[in-house]
Amino acid sequence: MTVSQTAPAGPVASHDRLANGLEVVVIPDHRTPVVTHMVWYRNGSADDPAGKSGIAHFLEHLMFKGTHKHPAGEFSAVVSDLGGQENAFTSMDYTAYFQRVAKEHLATMMAFEADRMANLALAEDVVGPERDVVIEERRMRTDNRPDAQLGEALTSSLFTHHPYGVPIIGWMHEIEGLGREDALAYYNRFYTPENAILVVAGDVTREEALRLANDTYGRIPARGAQPVRHRPQEPEPRARRLVRLADEKVEQPYLQRIYLAPSLLEDRAASDALDVAAQLLGAPQTGYLYRRLARDRGLAVASGAWYMGTAVDRTQFGVYAVPTESTDLAALERALDETLAEFTANGPTEAELARAKTRLIADHLYSQDSQANLARAYGATLAVGGAIADVQDWQARIEAVTADDVRAALARWLSPQRSATGYLETAAAA
């Protein structure tokens, strides 16, 4: 029954599998009598069927609309009455539901969530109104925000073939066509014990969590094999792309660029080097981009970098810069190209590398003080196909990254033809 049990420097996480295929990760933390209970499903927006964009996110909303045993709102009301917290989220690669409650209520959370995994009841009269809620969410968060519109267009221009180019919430015209049968088909395909990961962090032992999980989730019959994700892959890019969006709502222009980059699963060594590179380039006030673009050349007032390594398929490495009032975006882009070329050629000094790794590891260690962060780290990694060791060995891998590793990763993955650049402009600049 046990898959693995390893002892890292931080909290010890156990990893088991129930007879029906459900994976169970337990992260004991006995500092406070509280538990975080999460269920992760290996499906996200990139698994939406063609023409049904937004169905993963829509189903996340509908999962709160009741089961055959518990009417809509009862689960949430119980969590609230117990003084707990709850939420859910959908990403490109996974969907997760979580509650944070006093430890004596863990069995109650498992019973409700297991019921929701197997017995969702979707009455037609709840589907239409909830679809309207999602439509309004898209209007507010994307259609009325120029920065969100640019981000959506930029991502679509980078991922021309892979479904990562489709927004998580979906395209408006396709959301409008989603219905009950679409949601049920998606639910029946992906919401199975074989496709789920239970993560429990907090004041509980492995033995207690497994007993409760067997008494609740373990009663759900196995469906068979885990669903296979069928995704078209992105071809090797050959041309850099530029997307420009001007709007009268824009008060502060900025430049954003994303590169097609490997995920942790594709290339762990490159992924670790890109983690460090994002810190070297993008650290506030001290990163290479800020030092060169803002401090040395006076062209920017802010800059940054990020990397999204936890993904099933090829993912994004991003940089951004906010120009000074007298700098236009084209000039800022040329300076950005020059700065990235300099850094790729010369790389960090040993002192810069050591500082960046220290900051990165310190942030990681501080985050382990949070049960929710611990649960999310393990859940997200397993949901994209990673292993417990990918979480537990991360610090050692980061410590092993060299300056040559950083230079090699930047040279391989941050070439101009792998990028899409976005300009957010004022209406007057258009």
Q: Output 8 or 194, whichever has higher pLDDT.
A: 194
pLDDT single digits (tens) 30-61 = 999 999 999 999 999 999 999 999 999 999 99
The rounded distance, in Å, linking the Cα atoms of 332 and 338 is: 10
Q: Output 19 or 4, whichever has higher pLDDT.
A: 19
Determine the pLDDT at residue 10.
Answer: 60
Contacts 24+ apart (CB under 8 A), 234-240: 234/159, 234/160, 234/161, 234/162, 234/164, 234/260, 234/313, 234/314, 235/160, 235/161, 237/158, 237/417, 237/418, 237/419, 238/417, 239/417, 240/416, 240/417, 240/418, 240/419, 240/420, 240/421
Q: Given a cut of 90, is residue 279 above it in pLDDT? A: yes
Q: Given a cut of 60, is residue 395 above it in pLDDT? A: yes
Fold of 14-219: Cytochrome Bc1 Complex; Chain A, domain 1 (3.30.830)
The DSSP bridge partners found for residue 316 are 260
Q: What is the mean pLDDT of residues 174-202?
A: 97
Helix residue ranges per DSSP H, 191-290 = 206-215, 268-282, 288-289
pLDDT band per the 50, 70, 90 thresholds, residue 226: confident
Determine the pLDDT at residue 429.
Answer: 66
Determine the pLDDT at residue 7.
Answer: 41
Determine the pLDDT at residue 125.
Answer: 92
Q: Cα 274 to the chain's mean position, in Å?
A: 17
Q: Given a cut of 60, is residue 422 above it in pLDDT? A: yes
Q: Given a cut of 80, is residue 158 above it in pLDDT? A: yes
Closest CA to 341 of 333, 352, 331: 333
The rounded distance, in Å, linking the Cα atoms of 175 and 54 is: 6
pLDDT single digits (tens) 338-380 = 999 999 999 899 999 999 999 999 999 998 889 999 999 999 9
Asked whether 234 and 161 are in contact (CB, 8 A), the reply is yes
The rounded distance, in Å, linking the Cα atoms of 426 and 430 is: 7
Determine the pLDDT at residue 2.
Answer: 37
The DSSP bridge partners found for residue 57 are none
Q: What is the mean pLDDT of the chain?
A: 95
Domain 241-426: which CATH class?
alpha beta
Determine the pLDDT at residue 430.
Answer: 62
Determine the pLDDT at residue 224.
Answer: 86
Instruction: Supply the residues annotated as catalytic.
Output: 60
The rounded distance, in Å, linking the Cα atoms of 27 and 204 is: 8
Closest CA to 354 of 400, 308, 390, 408: 400
The rounded distance, in Å, linking the Cα atoms of 227 and 191 is: 10
Q: Given a cut of 80, is residue 329 above it in pLDDT? A: yes
What is the per-residue burial (b if ≥16 Cβ within 10 Å, else e) of 192-222?
Answer: bbbbbbbbbbbbbebebbbebbbebbbebee
Q: Checking phi first, is residue 170 left (phi over 0); if not, alpha (psi -120 to 50) or beta?
A: left
Residue ranges matching CATH 3.30.830.10 in the chain: 14-219, 241-426
What is the per-residue burial (b if ≥16 Cβ within 10 Å, else e) of 38-66?
Answer: bbbbbbbbbbbeeebbbbbbbbbbbbbbb
Q: Given a cut of 50, is residue 3 above it in pLDDT? A: no
Which CA distances in Å does 375 have to 13, 388, 406, 427?
A: 10, 12, 29, 44
pLDDT single digits (tens) 53-104 = 999 999 999 999 999 999 999 999 999 999 999 999 999 999 999 999 999 9
CB atoms within 10 A of CB 328: 13
The rounded distance, in Å, linking the Cα atoms of 290 and 145 is: 26
What's this model's pTM, rounded to 2 decimal places?
0.94
In percent, the amount of the chain with pLDDT more than 70 equals 97
Determine the pLDDT at residue 5.
Answer: 38
* Pairing of β 14-17 and β 254-261: unpaired
Burial (0-12, 13-18, 19+ Cβ within 10 Å), 293: buried
User: Any idea what DSSP says for residue 229?
Assistant: P
User: Any idea what DSSP says for residue 45?
Assistant: G
Determine the pLDDT at residue 428.
Answer: 76
Determine the pLDDT at residue 369.
Answer: 87
CB atoms within 10 A of CB 117: 24
- In the numeric block, which tokens belong to residue 332? 């800022």
> What are the start-end ranges of the E strands in 70-205?
85-90, 95-102, 196-202
